[in-house]
């Protein structure tokens, strides 16, 4: 599997794209217990009389924790100077935690002193070898410092990010003031540009898709009725002819009917006397209704 490398650039500046991770202050030999964390500027003076501390939170700077940092440039905007002399400014990685509103020439934070006042103990307060040195020569412009080594280390170990310190070489006596992250003009705030890359494993491509044939809808099959076979034909029964008709005997008529002789009344018979009716007198019985005073009774 061949990895794929993608390159990115991140720009961090206080107040831009909701970034609020810049902290900065400056420390002063001439006022060793003074703190300048709320000032609109940070100062660097020749002979390391004044030095500036700057830190960028990198928690959300990278798209992946496994990055290769190729270049990191921290830029400071010059506001003013004490005279026209140029100043050689060097930037060093800081090794001791410090607090913006507590750091002084004597202490990194309240109750915790620098190993050497002014953040000057090599290997304890700072990396003595500067990452870059720039000649600051004019006003109203950014000057750029290469801090790639420090950002590369912070990308691998975020807990070691204690920012950087800017110090000046003692060639001439001059002070330069740079805009801090509290400056009222956001465009002049310190900024950090990081160029890096991320290697991604190339995924194995999925198998080639073979389209399936287009489905043609078929109507639901309705089975035919179950076939019931007709009964096996057994043939008609053999025809048996009726027996031959034998005629009965020939009808012989009976003898000829001879009528009886007509009946003649006998004159010698005398009719009997006529019956005389007999009258029988039966008594008549009348049914009388019940009396309302004497009760039921019959009258004869």
CA distance 116 to 126: 10
- Predicted pLDDT of residue 263: 52
CB 55 within 8 Å of CB 163? yes
CA torsion 11→12→13→15, rounded to 10°? 110
Beta bridge partners of residue 86, listed in sequence order: none
- pTM listed for this prediction: 0.67
In the chain, what are the domain boundaries? 3-201
pLDDT of residue 293: 42
Note the pLDDT of residue 1: 59
Q: pLDDT by residue (tens digit) across 254-285? A: 666 566 655 555 555 454 555 555 554 555 55
DSSP letters spanning 135-198: EE--SSSEEEEE-HHHHHHHHH-GGG---EEEEE-SSS--EEEEE-TT-S-GGGS-EEEEEEEE
pLDDT of residue 37: 97
Cα separation, 145 vs 131, whole angstroms: 8
Average pLDDT along the chain, 300 residues, taken 10 residues at a time? 84 97 98 97 96 96 90 98 96 98 98 98 98 96 98 95 94 93 98 94 63 57 57 61 62 62 54 50 51 43
d(CA 30, CA 176): 16
Residue-by-residue DSSP string for the chain: --EEEEEEEEEEETTSTT---EEEEEEEGGGTT---TT-SEEEEEGGGTEEEEEEE--TTS-SSSS-EEEEEEEEEEEEEESSS--EEEEEEEB-S---TTT--SSEEETTEE-SSTTT--BTTTB-SS-SEEEEE--SSSEEEEE-HHHHHHHHH-GGG---EEEEE-SSS--EEEEE-TT-S-GGGS-EEEEEEEEEEEPPPPPPPP-PPPPPPP-PPPPPPPPP-PPPPP--PPPP-PPPPP---PPP---PPP-PPPPP---TTPPPPPPPPP---------PPPPBTTTB-----
- Topology of domain 3-201 in CATH is Jelly Rolls (2.60.120)
Q: Who contacts 145 (Cβ-Cβ below 8 Å, separation ≥6)? A: 73, 74, 75, 76, 89, 91, 131, 132, 134, 166
């Amino acid at each position: 599997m061949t990895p794929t490398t993608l390159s990115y650039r991140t720009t961090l500046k206080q107040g831009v794209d909701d970034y609020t991770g810049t902290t900065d202050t400056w420390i002063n030999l001439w006022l060793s217990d003074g703190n300048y964390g709320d000032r609109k500027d940070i100062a660097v003076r020749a002979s390391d009389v004044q030095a500036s501390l700057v830190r960028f939170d990198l928690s959300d700077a990278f798209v992946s924790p496994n990055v290769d940092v190729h270049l990191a440039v921290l830029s400071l905007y010059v506001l003013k100077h004490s005279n026209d002399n140029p100043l050689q400014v060097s930037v060093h990685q800081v090794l001791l935690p410090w607090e913006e509103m507590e750091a002084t020439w004597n202490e990194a934070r309240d109750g915790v002193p620098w190993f050497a006042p002014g953040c000057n103990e090599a290997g304890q307060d700072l990396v003595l070898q500067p990452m870059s040195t720039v000649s600051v020569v004019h006003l109203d412009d950014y000057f750029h410092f290469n801090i790639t080594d420090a950002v590369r280390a912070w990308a691998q170990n975020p807990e070691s990010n204690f920012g950087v310190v800017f110090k000046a070489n003692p060639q001439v006596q001059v002070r330069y003031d740079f805009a801090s992250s509290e400056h009222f003009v956001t465009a002049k705030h310190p900024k950090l540009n990081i160029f890096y890359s991320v290697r991604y494993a190339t995924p194995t491509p999925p198998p080639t898709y073979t389209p399936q044939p287009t489905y043609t809808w078929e109507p639901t099959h309705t089975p035919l009725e179950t076939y019931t076979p007709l009964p096996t034909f057994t043939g008609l029964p053999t025809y048996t002819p009726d027996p031959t008709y034998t005629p009965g005997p020939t009808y012989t008529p009976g003898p000829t009917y001879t009528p009886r002789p007509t009946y003649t009344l006998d004159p010698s018979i005398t009719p009997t006397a006529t019956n005389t009716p007999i009258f029988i007198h039966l008594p008549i019985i009348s049914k009388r209704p019940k009396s309302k005073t004497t009760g039921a009774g019959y009258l004869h």
